[in-house]
Structure 1
Amino acid sequence: MNVQSPTDWLILAISMAGAILVVEVVRRLLVRAGRKWRLARHLVEHCTWPAYAVGLVVAANLVFSPGMLGETVRLRELGGTIDRVLGLVTIACVTWLIIQANYALTDVILDRLVLVQGERNRRARRIMTQIGLVRRVAAVTIFVLAVGAMLFSFPQVRALGAGLLASAGIAGAIVGIAAQPTIGNMLAGLQLAFSDALRLDDVVVVNEEWGRIEELTLTYVVVRLWDERRMVLPVSYFTQNPFENWTRHGSRVLAVVFLRVDWSVPVDKLREELYRYIQENPLWDQKDWTLQVTDVLPNGLVELRALMSAADSPSAWDLKCDVREHLVSYVRENFPESLPRFRIETPETRAGVPWTGARPF
C-alpha cells in the first residue's frame, strides 16, 4: 500500500460513510417492521446510536493502518497510538451495543407484563422485578469483561498477568473487605427479587410511611410515598429490618374507616346506609364489607369500624375517603344527636336535679 496516498484516506472515508449507510438502511427496515414487530421497535429505540458508533469505529479500525500517516518513526508511533485507541473504542462501542440490545430484548417481555392485570398481576410484577435485576447484573458483567479486554490489549498488562494472578488471593480479600457494603447490597437485591419478598409496585409501609416500590436496583430501593415524596433506602435495609408488604399475596386491599360517635347512634341504619353506598361506588370490588362496633372509649364515645375491600391500594384509599365523607354527612344530616359529645357529671346531676342549661353567676 502506498503510504500517505490520498487514495487510502478516500477509502477510509468511503468505508465509514458506507458503514453509516448500512446502519441507516437497517434502521429504516426495523422502523417499518416495528409497526407489527415489537422487538424491532425496541431495537430502534435502544440500538440506533450504538450501531452508528460501532459501524464507524469498525470501518475505521479495518481500513486504518499506522503507515497511512507517514514512514518516520514519530509518525509511525502516532499511527500505532491511533490504531490502539481505535481498538479500545471498538471494544467500548461493541459493549455499548450489546448492553442496549440486552435491554431491548428484555423490554419486549416487560411490555407484556405491564399489561397483566387481575390475579396474575402479582406474578407479573415478580417477574418484572427479577428481569430488571438480572439485566442489570448482565450489564455490569458485560462492562467488567469489556474493561478486562481493554486492559489486556496492552502488552504491559499481559506481562503483569502472572504476578496479578499470584497475588489474587490477597487482592481479593482486600477488595472484598473494602466493597463489603456494596456486595452485601447486591446480594440483598437478588435475595429480595428471587425470594418474592419485594416486587415493583408493591404497597409497603416503611418507617411508618406508606408508599409503593417505584424502583428496585442492585444497591437501593426507591419508595414513592403517598404525597409524591421519594424515600431511597439501601437494599440491605429490607433484609435487616421489618417492613409491611400489603400486596405480598395479592393486590386486593382492605379499606378501614373509623368513626367515634355518641352512644345514641343507630348502628343498624348506618350499616344499611354503608351497604347501599358502596354498592353504587365503582371502587368497591363487590366482595368484603362490614360495619361493627369495635370499642367503647373512655371519653364516653363508641368506635365504629367500616371495612370494605378494593382491587388495589389506590382504589382502597379513594374508597376509604369517599365512605368516611359520606358517613360523616349522613350522621350529621340524619342523626345530629349522635354526633360526638363529651359528658360530665356535676353535683346537681349526681343528686338527680335536672339540668336547665342556665349558668350561675
Structure 2
Amino acid sequence: MNSALRVLTVLGCSILLTFAAGWAFDLLLRRADARHPETPLWNLLRRCRHALQIVLLAALLKGAHRQIAWPPLQDHAAAVGRVLSLTLIGAGAWLMVAVASAVVESGYARYATATATRDPARLRRVRTQVTLIMRVVTVVVAVVAVAAMLVTFPSFRALGTSVLASAGIIGIVAGVAAQSTLGNLFAGFQIAFGDMVRIGDTVVVAGEWGVVEDITLTFLAVRTWDERRITMPVSYFTTRPFENWSRGGVQMTGSVFLHCDHRVPVDLMRDKAEEILHGCKEWDGRAWDLAVTETTPSTVVLRVIVTAKDPDDLWTVRCVVREQLVAWLAEKHPHALPRVLLDPAPGPGG
C-alpha cells in the first residue's frame, strides 16, 4: 500500500511541477510580450509550452521511477525507462523544432514589417528561403531524433556495427536509388538561394499560367487561374526554361490584338481605347498605344499596348479593353468588323 501511495505521490508531484513550470513559462513570456510588443518572438515562443511540459514530465519521471519500490514497476523498470527515454527524445525534438520555428518566424515578421512596402519581391524571396530552411531543420531534427530512439534498443546498437562495416556498398546503392530525390533536394536549395522562383511569383510552366503557392524541398505547387494545383518536381525549374512574370518587378506590359475590316476608323478607335483605359482602375497609367501591326487580304490587325502594376491587373485590363472595343465597334462602326465575302461563281459566258 505504501509503495502504491508513493507511486501516486511521485506521479502527482511530477504533474503539478510540470503544470506549474508551464504556467510560469507562459506568464513570463506574456509579460515579455507586453513590454516588447514590437518583437513577436515572445508570443510565438508560447507555442512551445506543451512540448516543454512533456519534456519536463518525462525527465522527472525518468529520474524518479527507479527510486520507487513498487514490485510491478520494478519488474518492468527497463521497459518503463525505455518508454520514458523515447518520450523524452521525441518531446525534445518537438521542442527544438518549435523554438527554431518561433525564432525564424519572428525574424521574418520583423523583416516583413520593414520591407513589405519597399520591396515586395525581396520579401517573397526571403519567405521562400525561410520556408525551405525550416523544412530542412525539421527533417534534420526528425532524423537525429529517430536515430537517438533506435540507439536506446540494444539490438539496434549491435546491428549498427554490422551496418557500418558495409556502409560503403550501402551508400553507393542508396545514392543510385535516390538520385532523383537528391537531385530534387539540391534543386530546392538552388531555387531558394538562387532567387529563380519565389512563393507568390506569377509563372507560366508547361503552357499553364499560375501563381507559385508552395515550395518544398522536392516539389513545387502552382495554383492556376481556375483554382487547379499543378505539382511538379523542383528540378523542372532548374533544367527547363519557364516564364517568371514577377522576376525583376511585378509591373507588366501586355497587348490586345483585334482583327478588323480595312475600313476601320483607326484614329477614332485610338481615342476610344484611351477613354476606356482612363475609366479602368486596374490600368496603372504608365503607358498605352494602339497601332496597325499587320494587314491581310481581308482584315487589318490592330494591337493595343497596355500596362498594369501586376499580372492579375494586366489580365483584367486586357479583358476590359478587348470587350469594350468590340462592343463599341459593333454599336458605332459595324462596318469595321471583319466579315467573309462570298462572290458568286461566274457563269459559262462570264
Same fold (TM over 0.5): yes
Q: Aligned partners of 2:295 and 2:51: how far apart in 1? A: 68
Match of 1:105 among 93, 103, 106: 103
Question: Are residues 229 and 114 of structure 1, via their aligned partners in 2, closer, same or farther at CA, if it must alter by over 3 Å?
Answer: farther
- Superposed displacement of residue 240, structure 1: 2.5
- Superposed displacement of residue 153, structure 1: 2.6
Q: Aligned partners of 1:112 and 1:290: how far apart in 2? A: 42
In the TM superposition, what are the counterparts of 1:41-60 in structure 2 within 5 Å?
41-44=43-46, 46-60=47-61
Q: Aligned partners of 1:259 and 1:182: how far apart in 2? A: 47
Q: RMSD across aligned C-alpha pairs, in angstroms?
A: 2.6
Question: Are residues 69 and 167 of structure 1, via their aligned partners in 2, closer, same or farther at CA, if it must alter by over 3 Å?
Answer: farther
Q: Aligned partners of 2:329 and 2:33: how far apart in 1? A: 59
Question: Are residues 118 and 285 of structure 1, via their aligned partners in 2, closer, same or farther at CA, if it must alter by over 3 Å?
Answer: farther
Look up the match of 2:152: 153
What CA deviation, in whole Å up to 9, does each residue of 1:284-324 have, x standing for no partner? 122121112122235x1111111111111111111211222
Structure 1, gaps ≥5 residues long: 354-361
Q: Aligned partners of 2:273 and 2:265: how far apart in 1? A: 12
Describe the SS at the equivalent of 1:135.
helix
Question: Are residues 218 and 68 of structure 1, via their aligned partners in 2, closer, same or farther at CA, if it must alter by over 3 Å?
Answer: farther
- Superposed displacement of residue 144, structure 1: 1.2
- Superposed displacement of residue 97, structure 1: 1.4
Look up the match of 1:39: 41
CA contact (8 A) 1:222 1:232 kept: yes
What CA deviation, in whole Å up to 9, does each residue of 1:210-235 have, x standing for no partner? 10100010011100000001111111
In the TM superposition, what are the counterparts of 1:1-361 in structure 2 within 5 Å?
4=3, 6-31=5-30, 33-34=32-33, 36=37, 37-44=39-46, 46-65=47-66, 67-70=68-71, 75-112=73-110, 116-117=115-116, 120-298=119-297, 300-346=298-344
Q: Which runs of 4+ in 1 moved over 6 A?
A: none
Letter in structure 2 aligned against 1:313: P
Describe the SS at the equivalent of 1:223.
strand
Structure 2, gaps ≥5 residues long: none
Deviates more, 1:102-111 or 1:323-332: 102-111
Aligned-residue sequence identity (percent) comes to: 37
- Superposed displacement of residue 162, structure 1: 4.0
Describe the SS at the equivalent of 1:4.
helix
**Aligned residue pair count:** 344
Describe the SS at the equivalent of 1:65.
helix
- Superposed displacement of residue 127, structure 1: 1.3
Letter in structure 2 aligned against 1:248: R
- Superposed displacement of residue 117, structure 1: 4.5
Deviates more, 1:236-245 or 1:258-267: 236-245
Letter in structure 2 aligned against 1:258: F
CA contact (8 A) 1:66 1:83 kept: no
Letter in structure 1 aligned against 2:50: W
CA contact (8 A) 1:69 1:79 kept: no
CA contact (8 A) 1:58 1:90 kept: yes
TM-score, normalisation: structure 2 = 0.89
Q: Aligned partners of 2:118 and 2:290: how far apart in 1? A: 27
Q: Aligned partners of 2:243 and 2:210: how far apart in 1? A: 10
